[in-house]
Amino acid sequence: MVETPAGQRVLCLTRGKKSELVVGDRVRWSTTGDGGVIDSLVERRNLLFRQDEWRTKSFAANLDLLLILVAPEPVFSESQLTRALIAAAAADIPVCIGLNKTDLPGAPVARERLAPYRAMGTPVIELALKREPEAARATLAPLLAGRTTLVLGPSGMGKSTLINLLVPQAEAQVGEISQALNTGRHTTTSTRWYWLDGAETVDETGAAPRAALIDSPGFQEFGLRQVAPEQLAGLMPDYAAALGHCRFHNCSHLHEPGCGVREAAARGEISPTRQRIYAELFEELSQKRW
């Protein structure tokens, strides 16, 4: 589905058997009868993707922000969170963590778990999307203004609640697009774009960019096969801050003597949980098969 600068949505076919297009892509296309055909892809500013054991899964392109939702219940995985943060860093996409359901009893523990991420400079905002929707709207408005934001997170963290709060017409938009595509309304494997201001036109000059949200399916796994093991430390801010002080230029930061990163960890500058996650990811990426 292609949206024109005038806000018209046109169902287009792609040339060739395989489509590499994702939500947020800019394309050149031609009219064919009552539809169109995509001729070429405009160069992307960035592309966020993850990989599982079998295939690459592209999420979206040309993003200004990745908003990762977590919550006290269900308990979020720091490994999943770290993987998403690394993927964003590898694609050079700014990121913000949204701690939702702060009205629940488990919120203090969740805040404590996120303390190392705050310390390393990752913005964290607090939300109670269901209990305090207007306060959440006020918190999110300046963050999302003028940006294209992908909302990411495991199922149950509040992505649908956030979308319905900020885009009341979301269900109508999904129904309209699904009818055009002849697909089911409740497909959970698709990624969708919503204009936050309800505007029907796209400003191509860049003078007044409109805010948009991209909703993504929940995930339980988040592979990083696009990242080489030697790149890993540089994509983790707490590790990156300690780089450049190792005795060996190819230090893995796991067992070598004279490792500046391990010395930083001994000083308490890198949490034990982050050390464990780094070790697990380094081993995983070292054993990957292409």
Q: Is 102 annotated as a binding residue?
A: yes
Measured distance CA(47)–CA(52) in Å, rounded: 17
Domain range annotation of the chain: 2-41, 47-215, 229-286
Q: What is 15-29 written as a DSSP string?
A: SSS-----BT--EEE
Determine the pLDDT at residue 225.
81
Domain 47-215 has CATH 3.30.360.10: no
Determine the pLDDT at residue 17.
62
Q: Is 251 annotated as a binding residue?
A: yes
Q: Is 253 annotated as a binding residue?
A: yes
- 48, β-bridge pairs: 60
pLDDT tens-place values along the chain, 290 residues long: 999 988 899 999 988 766 788 899 999 999 998 899 999 999 999 998 766 555 556 678 999 999 999 999 999 999 999 999 999 999 999 999 999 999 999 999 999 999 999 999 999 999 999 999 999 999 999 999 999 999 998 888 999 899 999 998 776 444 454 555 544 343 345 788 999 975 444 455 544 578 999 988 766 567 788 899 999 999 999 999 999 999 999 999 999 999 999 999 999 999 999 999 999 999 999 985 54
Q: Is 153 annotated as a binding residue?
A: yes
Closest Cα partner for 214 from 7, 73, 51, 25?
Answer: 25
What CATH number is given for 229-286 in this structure?
A: 1.10.40.50
Q: Is 259 annotated as a binding residue?
A: yes
Residue whose structure tokens are 């988040």: 222
Q: Cβ neighbours of residue 134 under 8 Å, at least 6 residues apart?
A: none
- 215, β-bridge pairs: 151, 192
**Amino acid identity, position 143:** L
Torsion sign across C-alpha atoms 6, 167, 111, 70: negative
Query: Phi and psi dihedrals of 27, rounded to 5?
Result: -135, 160
Q: Is 100 annotated as a binding residue?
A: yes
Determine the pLDDT at residue 197.
73
Q: Is 154 annotated as a binding residue?
A: yes
Q: Is 96 annotated as a binding residue?
A: no
Measured distance CA(286)–CA(290) in Å, rounded: 11
Q: Is 197 annotated as a binding residue?
A: no
Q: Pairing relation of β-strands 95-99 and 124-126?
A: parallel
Radius of gyration for the alpha carbons in the chain, expressed in angstroms and rounded? 21
Q: Is 12 annotated as a binding residue?
A: no
Q: Is 271 annotated as a binding residue?
A: no
Our measurement of the distance from residue 27's CA atom to the centroid of its chain's CA atoms, rounded to an integer in Å, reads 22
Our measurement of the distance from residue 43's CA atom to the centroid of its chain's CA atoms, rounded to an integer in Å, reads 20
Determine the pLDDT at residue 75.
93
Q: Is 218 annotated as a binding residue?
A: no
pTM value?
A: 0.87
Q: Is 120 annotated as a binding residue?
A: no
- 212, β-bridge pairs: 148, 195
Closest Cα partner for 195 from 218, 180, 177?
Answer: 177
Q: Which two tokens stand for residue 288?
A: 């990957």
